[in-house]
Chains A and B, each alone.
Chain A
Amino acid sequence: MQLIQQILFIIISGISIYLFARKVGEIRRNIMLGRKEDLTDNPGQRWKNMALLALGQKKMFKRPVPAILHLFVYAGFIIINIEILEIILDGMSGQHRMFAPVLGGLYAILIGCFEILAVLVLLGCAIFLARRNLLKTPRLVQAELDGWPKNDANLILIMEIVLMTLFLSMNTADLVLQERGVEHYTQTDTFWITGMFTGLFSGLSNEALVGIERGGWWLHIVGVFIFMNYLPYSKHFHIIVSFPNAWYMRLKKQGEMKNMKEIQNEVLYMMEPDKAPTDATPAEQQRFGAKDVMDLSWKNLMDAYACTECGRCTAVCPANITGKKLSPRKIMMNTRDRLEEVGANINKNKEYVDDGKTLVHDYISVEELRACTTCQACVEACPVSIDPLNIIYQLRRSLIMEESNSPEEWNLMFGNIENNMAPWKFSPDERDKWAEEMS
């Protein structure tokens, strides 16, 4: 019986790790569909950003209440994973609580700490569920979350609650079995939290308790494997991607917009033809700006996978606050959805076959893009260094330069800049009229 459990465990672990690695590889391939952008300068600053923003969650604390609850879940998740290590080793070796004899008295303290964290995770998740479904925190119930995104969020929270409950009931049953000196159940000191609840299980038979303990153990570890494989399909993937995303964030001032070298050169060769390269091999045809996800930088695409749809960006967006259609969060969700669609297209056809769809128009409307004031509040607000504005800029460039899709007022403004060197229809001769009026 023990041997079957061991073999089964190893098979399940192998399959779930394989599936997870395959999906992650797919996501990596999707991200690499983006244009090249070098973001490796100043590694010192980058490590610091990763430590402060991802590990330290610095920006989360702009909103203290969710930050503290999130910290419970986050710390719980990371630290309780040490326990997973023991569970995996036990599972493969057929032993039970193999760290207990090694760590001695420290073992129960360690498990006690995990249990306290487990309770905090339970508490955090319960409050998060309430915020989403009962209190209806505005940014968590906006229209773009209808359907799958809302279910995704609830599902993750429920999964965490189930996992923690299994972990705690497993320990409680274990303690009762230890008290009764049942074979195979290694003696430890009592655990801080579950030690208080052994009374609940004291009426049960040994067989029932072994059932609860083994059931809890199995469901817990299988649950963890399911959770791991669910991650790459979920917004919850942020727990992994936010780390590299913080490392690779742009280090320039937020106000700076990325230059387009190809257009800079075009203007230069027009103004100074002698500087134009004579052996001009036509550069590979590249779109101006971005019409679809492949035209974006790989960092924009990684941003999309780092987004956990918290909506801090949308909550501070002046366009969204005043009722316009633009929502920076939706820009990120759309980018990921379209990229996943392109990825599925590649899986099916070996390479991308034009499906007649693009990120602009089919996912993000012109009206949304037009409403942006480029105020950078969304960039500032994002706890995991996502830059929705960067995507908006590139999509706008495509609209103007590829499609000549521009409101009439902007065409007038462009014309004025070109002809009068100012966005309004004034004569350039009057530019210093104010100075004459002063003297």
Chain B
Amino acid sequence: MAEYAANGEMPEVLFWVGCAGSFDQRAQRITKAFAQILDKVGVKFAILGKEEMCTGDPARRAGNEFLFQMMAYNNIQTLNGYGIKKIVTACPHCFNIIGNEYPVLGGNYEVIHHTTFLQQIINDGRIRLKEGGVFKGKKITYHDSCYLGRGNNIYEAPREVLQALDVELVEMKRCRTNGMCCGAGGAQMFKEEEKGKTRVNYERSEEALDTGATIIAANCPFCTTMLTDGVKNKEKEDDVKVLDIAEMVAQSLAE
């Protein structure tokens, strides 16, 4: 972003990468896939790079409001400093917190989740997909993340992207408003689970495996990690892959 600003230019959209997308090896692949799509279709985008900081989501959900407010303050200073208007992010937690919780703190931006963004550029004809792509006719199930689904009522955009890939979409019993959590939210990602009879991600992954799908499509780097672990637990990792929708689109781009 600093380079754009130095040249006095404004990108079409700022790509908010998020901590998982920046540092987690698995999530970096999602970030790269999405950046590759943006490059391919010629969307002028920027990243904050080293100036991006954690949104404060895990701190706030855990109860550490003070730390959240510090992170939000700094991020809003940076974003407002560059005059950012439009943000796209591949993480529903970043999407929710910047879109819903930053405005009251003085951070007003149009925030779009990457699955909605992909659906829009597919509908606009900006993305050209391979005829008979790699996912055509494949049995795929879609996992609604809590913060995209219940949190923000986005259920259809990701499914429309999957339809555009000609997949055979099979729903889990608990989907859309009834979707079940992967177990990462509320800062659970950063600690051991409480004592129980099973893990949340095992329970959800088993439900996904029960559909007989060969791919579990996700829209969140944390869900992706949780579900991948759940699939491994059932020793199905050779037969069933957990992929972010951006990775699936990236693999289906026409040359």
Interface residues of A (CB under 8 A from B): 62, 252-257, 259-260, 263-264, 266-268, 271, 288-289, 316, 318-319, 321-326, 367, 370-377, 379-380, 393, 396-401, 406-407, 409-410, 412-414, 417-418, 421-424, 426, 428-435, 437-438
A152 to chain B, nearest CB (A): 28
Question: What residues of B have a CB within 8 angstroms of the CB of A410 in the complex?
Answer: 62, 187, 190-191
Contact between chains at B28 and A434 (CB < 8 Å): yes
Give A252 to B103 CA distance when docked, in angstroms: 13
Question: What residues of A have a CB within 8 angstroms of the CB of B32 in the complex?
Answer: 434, 437-438
B167 to chain A, nearest CB (A): 26
**Interface membership of B105, Cβ < 8 A:** yes
Contact between chains at A371 and B146 (CB < 8 Å): no
**Interface membership of B137, Cβ < 8 A:** no
Contact between chains at B22 and A434 (CB < 8 Å): yes
Residue of A nearest to B200 (CB): A318
Segment at the interface with A among B50-58, B208-216, B235-243:
B50-58
Question: What residues of A have a CB within 8 angstroms of the CB of B24 in the complex?
Answer: 424
Contact between chains at A377 and B181 (CB < 8 Å): yes
Question: What residues of A have a CB within 8 angstroms of the CB of B63 in the complex?
Answer: 289, 393, 396-401, 406
Contact between chains at B183 and A373 (CB < 8 Å): yes
Picked from B35, B53, B179, B184, the residue with its CB within 8 Å of the CB of A373 is: B184
Question: What residues of A have a CB within 8 angstroms of the CB of B174 in the complex?
Answer: 316
Question: What residues of B have a CB within 8 angstroms of the CB of A370 in the complex?
Answer: 191, 194
Interface residues of B (CB under 8 A from A): 17, 19, 21-24, 28, 31-32, 35-36, 47, 49-50, 52-54, 56, 58-67, 69-71, 73, 96, 100-101, 104-105, 146-147, 150-153, 174, 177-181, 183-200, 202-204
Contact between chains at A323 and B49 (CB < 8 Å): no
Residue of A nearest to B24 (CB): A424
Give A16 to B179 CA distance when docked, in angstroms: 46
Residues A375 and B70 in contact in the complex (CB < 8 Å), given A255-B96, A318-B200, A409-B190:
no
Contact between chains at B151 and A254 (CB < 8 Å): yes
Contact between chains at B191 and A409 (CB < 8 Å): yes
Residue of A nearest to B60 (CB): A257
Contact between chains at A253 and B62 (CB < 8 Å): no
Picked from A372, A413, A428, A430, the residue with its CB within 8 Å of the CB of B58 is: A413
Question: What residues of B have a CB within 8 angstroms of the CB of A379 in the complex?
Answer: 150
Picked from B187, B189, B194, the residue with its CB within 8 Å of the CB of A326 is: B194
Contact between chains at B186 and A255 (CB < 8 Å): no
Contact between chains at B180 and A318 (CB < 8 Å): yes
Give A370 to B36 CA distance when docked, in angstroms: 38
| Interface of chain A: mostly helix, strand, loop or mixed | helix
Picked from B36, B47, B146, B186, the residue with its CB within 8 Å of the CB of A432 is: B47
Picked from A377, A407, A418, A434, the residue with its CB within 8 Å of the CB of B31 is: A434
Best-buried of A254, A259, A373, A428 by chain B (most CB within 10 Å): A373
Picked from A259, A377, A409, A433, the residue with its CB within 8 Å of the CB of B101 is: A259
Contact between chains at A267 and B70 (CB < 8 Å): yes
Give A271 to B70 CA distance when docked, in angstroms: 9
Give A428 to B17 CA distance when docked, in angstroms: 13
Contact between chains at B181 and A375 (CB < 8 Å): yes
Could you give 7 example pairs across A and B, Cβ below 8 Å?
A: A267-B73, A373-B181, A396-B63, A399-B63, A400-B62, A413-B191, A438-B32
Give A257 to B56 CA distance when docked, in angstroms: 12
Question: What residues of A have a CB within 8 angstroms of the CB of B150 in the complex?
Answer: 254-255, 375-377, 379-380
B229 to chain A, nearest CB (A): 14
Contact between chains at B67 and A377 (CB < 8 Å): no
Residues A322 and B186 in contact in the complex (CB < 8 Å), given A267-B70, A431-B23:
no
Picked from A271, A400, A422, A426, the residue with its CB within 8 Å of the CB of B64 is: A400
Question: What residues of B have a CB within 8 angstroms of the CB of A367 in the complex?
Answer: 194-195
Contact between chains at B49 and A435 (CB < 8 Å): yes
Given contact pairs A316-B178, A367-B195, A400-B62, enumerate 17 new A-B contacts (beta carbons under 8 Å): A255-B152, A256-B100, A263-B65, A263-B66, A266-B69, A288-B65, A316-B174, A319-B200, A322-B203, A323-B195, A370-B191, A373-B183, A380-B177, A417-B58, A431-B22, A431-B49, A432-B49
Give A319 to B182 CA distance when docked, in angstroms: 11
A38 to chain B, nearest CB (A): 14
Contact between chains at B64 and A414 (CB < 8 Å): yes
Question: What residues of A have a CB within 8 angstroms of the CB of B194 in the complex?
Answer: 319, 324-326, 367, 370-371
Residues A374 and B71 in contact in the complex (CB < 8 Å), given A410-B62, A429-B50:
no
The 5 A-B pairs with the shortest beta carbon distances in the complex, nearest first, are A255-B151, A323-B197, A374-B186, A396-B63, A323-B196
Question: What residues of A have a CB within 8 angstroms of the CB of B71 in the complex?
Answer: 417, 421
Contact between chains at A413 and B184 (CB < 8 Å): no
Question: What residues of A have a CB within 8 angstroms of the CB of B147 in the complex?
Answer: 255
Residue of B nearest to A395 (CB): B63
A235 to chain B, nearest CB (A): 24
Contact between chains at B151 and A376 (CB < 8 Å): yes
Contact between chains at B36 and A438 (CB < 8 Å): yes
Question: What residues of A have a CB within 8 angstroms of the CB of B203 in the complex?
Answer: 318, 321-322
A253 to chain B, nearest CB (A): 5
Picked from B185, B187, B196, the residue with its CB within 8 Å of the CB of A322 is: B196
Best-buried of B23, B35, B174, B189 by chain A (most CB within 10 Å): B23
B109 to chain A, nearest CB (A): 15
Contact between chains at B193 and A371 (CB < 8 Å): yes
A114 to chain B, nearest CB (A): 37
Contact between chains at B191 and A407 (CB < 8 Å): yes
A166 to chain B, nearest CB (A): 41
Contact between chains at B186 and A431 (CB < 8 Å): no
